Structure 1
Amino acid sequence: MGTENKVIKCKAAVAWEPGKPVSVEEVEVAPPKEHEVRIKIAASGVCHTDLTYLYDCGKGVQTRPFPLILGHEGSGVVESVGPGVTTVQPGDNVIPLFLPQCFECEFCLSPKTNLCYKNWRKTQQCVLADGTSRITCKGQQVYQFLGVSTFCEYTVVPEYNVAKIHQDAALDKVCLLGCGVTTGYGAALNAAKVERGTVCAVFGLGAVGLATVMGCKAAGASRIIGVDINVEKREVAKTFGVTEFVNPNDHNKPIQEVLMEMTSGGVDYSFECVGNVTLMRAVFESCRAAWGTCVIVGWNETDSLSLAPIDVLMGRTLKGTYFGGWKSVCSVPKLVEDYMSGRIMLDEFVTHTLPLEEVNHAFHLMTKGKRIQTCPDLSAVLAKQSLLLPPFIIHSPF
């Protein structure tokens, strides 16, 4: 591309401090170092998690360093590779990943988990393996959110955090597989292992919730109950497979009691797709005793969850999922092909298309009027994804 081994000047949405709007700046992106890949971003989702780390640091999430370039749900084309990279080459279509897969650690070698801790602590600190970022602005280092930073026209990520995908894939759609859709879809198929003919309840019908519904339907669930206080979600959710819609505000009793009555004892599988610990308890208590399984999908790093031991002793299972249980580098290319063959939906998650310069408006859209609330003070946004192109996308997973 004529830029190999050179510093690239490009645009990025820089968050200079928490709680303030981001600003689109000219940044400098350094060439990749050993086992690193520089990617020209084609499209990027705006996940509700991005919004949370910008405006709600400390409220269920740990503070990240600033200045920071957010974005962790993107797709693009490899511009250049650093020494030692063998898995991709310039020109390849790829999806950068916040969850690595090194193929060497005990986790990667185990079929029991999709976790991988290769450079984990570094990327959680928003730097790469050597403790620095590859992006600077006005002479100052800018941190890379989760080691990714897709709100930048170019980014550099570790080789272990890159999935090579089909060259014919629609980059403005498959970027959604970088986080929210993959997480929800896998929550049903991999974490819960939903069985055919069972009853499921999904709390929070944002993008992650709708993807969870999609996974429940693919697994053959006979009833899929969507729970949300936004009545506009009722029709949207049917598109993805919801068979019944429940608005907690329509009832004068706790939502778990409502579901217990609707299902004569509780659902077989329940999913919390918001990230609020109060709601998590209600979702868990919605499960049927003896074999009900509750999966925590919503992101929360810091708050404590309180449960009644008897609910566990009576045979209910509580578990969580990270990135839907998918082995990232191996699984994402297969999910891309599933989309291309029509086995999973992505287009239906898209609601808005905006340029990078309007990223603050994208955040505004996520919070304006269309909130997903499943109990007081629990909020997420927009029934579907919102796209930010070119070259970026917005979506809300919670």
Structure 2
Amino acid sequence: MSNTSKVITCKAAICWGVGEAVKVEEIQVEPPKATEVRVKMLCASICHTDISSIQGSPHANFPLALGHEGVGVVESVGELVTNVKEGDMVIPTYIGECKECVNCVSEKTNLCMTYPIRLTGLMPDNTSRMSIQGQRMHHVLSCATWSEYMVIDANYILKVDPSIDLAHASFISCGFSTGYGAAWKEAKVESGSSVAVIGLGAVGLGAISGAKMLGATRIIGIDKNERKREKGEAFGMTHFINPDDSDKSVSELIKELSGGMGVDYSFECTGVAPLLTESIEATKVGTGKTIAIGTGTDIVPFGLSCIMYGRTLKGSVFGGIKPISDLYIIANKTQKKELPLEELFTHEVPLADINKAFELLKQPSCVKVVIKMSC
């Protein structure tokens, strides 16, 4: 019997309903269909989207197999798959790139129309390859990386060099690349410019790294966690603001560090609604550009006056990164150790202790938690 005809029983982190505790349970993973691959996961990590998914966002389809950041080895492939083979190292992506649809051809966006974001928690054919106790399971977006094995459509993966650091490969599958791309592809930060980054998690640190790569000379990081000062500096931050140290607003504090005029570019990476207004107000009148990266469920309470004075506000998904044309460049930099991604790796837990990871995220010293697979 070939690998592509076997059902695999393995362990995965499962949530049964909104707000319920995450449990590690045995599940069944079916073989890949024609355009799919089954991946043996080696390493995964936690992103804010994983936490919000437990609360029912971006969808509330349960039971839910968690995780969307990770790296693994192709265990088996469907008959029509040509871009990877068994044994290849791959990272998942949650958007594809056909290079032929109106969006891909336009070069104006990374949101492919042929291989869009999967907001149903199912495969492109609206079925699932994962089940538990005979019940169909969903995943967060295109896959479920907190599972020892998972199936993903081949159009949502990127082959990477097998010598790449596993934890670092996991980081670039979403969080870090989202921030890096926001500076690189969305804002197109110019050399000699000024930048403010609100929220110095993996996404914010990625935005700092991207701004430094593009030659920004004043990069201001904003975070209430004083320990993020050192992390920000490692990625290229030149100035740090802890809002708790002042009674002034975040935008006022940023303007004080940018000659009173504000910065050229700002990046809101927290998803905290009022901070989007602060991020816009912190940019220059007439030319300032704000990239909204963080996602939250609150209504954003900003008035049109924020952008009426010539400022620009732009939403961003995956930092504008295209998974074929752009992500491989970040993967190459990662493989060559050109990015200080070791600064993100602060904690590690085995899959069996996944709930410990949520507690670690509350610690001031935590940036990224790595999940090691046991299979």
Distance 2:126 2:154 in 1: 16
Deviation of residue 255 (structure 1)? 1.4
| CA offsets 1:137-170 (integer angstroms, 9 cap, x no match) | 1111111221211011111111110111113222
Note if contact 2:73-2:89 (Cα within 8 Å) is conserved in structure 1: yes
- Look up the SS of the partner of 1:128 in the other structure: coil
Q: 1:323 deviation in Å?
A: 0.8
* Aligned counterpart for 1:76 among listed residues 72, 84, 102: 72
Does the CA-based 8 Å contact 2:95-2:115 persist in structure 1?
no
Instruction: Give, in whole Å, the separation in 2 of the partners of 1:115 and 1:347.
Output: 30
Deviation at 1:193, TM superposition (A): 1.0
Paired residue secondary structure (1:329): coil
Q: Distance in 1 between the 2:281 and 2:120 partners?
A: 35
Separation in 2, partners of 1:2, 1:170: 30
Q: Tell me what 2:314 maps to.
A: 319
Query: What CA distance in whole angstroms lies between the structure 2 residues aligned with 1:383 and 1:186?
Result: 23
* Large movers: runs of 4+ above 6 Å: none
Counterpart for residue 85 of structure 2 = 89
Partner of 2:98: 102
Aligned to 1:336: 331
Q: Aligned residue for 2:367?
A: 384
Q: Are residue 269 (structure 1) and residue 269 (structure 2) matched?
A: no
Deviation at 1:384, TM superposition (A): 2.1
Paired AA for residue 368 in structure 2: Q
Q: 1:62 to 1:180 in 2, by over 3 A?
A: closer
- With 86-95 and 235-244 compared, the bigger mean Cα shift is at 235-244
Cα distance in 1, alignment partners of residues 288 and 189 from structure 2: 11
Counterpart residue number, 1:171: 166
Q: TM-score, normalised by structure 2?
A: 0.95
- The corresponding residue for 1:231 is 226
Name 1:114's counterpart in structure 2: 110
CA separation in 2, counterparts of 1:44 and 1:21? 19
Counterpart position of 1:351: 346
Contact 1:289 1:311 in 2 (8 A): no
Identity %: 41
Query: 1 CA distance for matches of 2:325 and 2:89?
Result: 15
Deviation for aligned residue 1:129: 2.0
User: CA offset at residue 119 of structure 1?
Assistant: 5.2
Question: Quick check: 1:28–1:137 contact (8 Å CA) kept in 2?
Answer: yes
Give the counterpart of 1:360 among 355, 363, 374: 355
How high is the TM-score relative to the length of structure 1?
0.89
2:229 counterpart of 1:250: no
Question: Aligned equivalents of 2:128 and 2:145: distance in 1?
Answer: 13
Which structure has more RCO (C-alpha within 8 Å, separation ≥ 6)?
Answer: 1
What amino acid sits opposite 2:342 in the alignment? D
Mean Cα deviation higher: 85-94 or 100-109: 100-109
Contact persistence 2:195–2:216 (CA under 8 A): yes
Change in 2 beyond 3 A, CA 1:391/1:214: farther
| CA displacement, residues 169-205 of structure 1 (integer Å, 9 cap, x when unaligned) | 2223211111001001111111111111111111001
What CA distance in whole angstroms lies between the structure 2 residues aligned with 1:206 and 1:92?
30
Give aligned pairs, total: 374
Give the corresponding residue for 1:51. 51
1:130 corresponding residue in structure 2:
125
Q: Is the 8 A contact 1:39 1:76 kept in 2?
A: yes
* Structure 1 residues without counterparts, runs of 5 or longer: 371-381, 393-398
Contact 1:44 1:391 in 2 (8 A): no
Contact 1:228 1:246 in 2 (8 A): yes
Distance in 1 of aligned mates of 2:39 and 2:325? 19
Superposed CA RMSD: 1.8
1:200 paired with 2:195, answer: yes
CA distance in 2, matches of 1:18, 1:328: 30
Mapped partners of 2:331, 2:27: distance in 1: 31
Say whether the 8 Å CA contact 2:53–2:140 is kept in structure 1.
no
Deviations 1:69-126 (A, max 9, x none): 11001111111111211111111111111112223322222211111133537x2110
SS at match of 1:201: strand
SS of the aligned residue for 1:77 comes to strand
In structure 2, give the amino acid aligned to 1:388: I
* Cα shift at 1:62: 4.1
CA distance in 2, matches of 1:175, 1:185: 15
Q: CA deviation at 1:49?
A: 1.4
Q: Is the 8 A contact 2:102 2:113 kept in 1?
A: no
Where does the alignment leave 5 or more consecutive residues of structure 2 unmatched? none
Aligned counterpart for 1:212 among listed residues 200, 207, 216:
207
Is the aligned partner of 1:182 residue 2:165? no
Shift of the 391–72 alpha-carbon distance from structure 1 to 2, 3 Å rule, reads farther
Query: Does the 8 A contact of 2:199 with 2:223 survive in 1?
Result: yes
Match of 1:19 in 2: 19
Residue pair 1:125, 1:146 contacting (<8 A) in 2 also: yes
3-state SS of paired residue (1:147)? coil
Deviation at residue 36 of structure 1 after TM alignment: 0.9
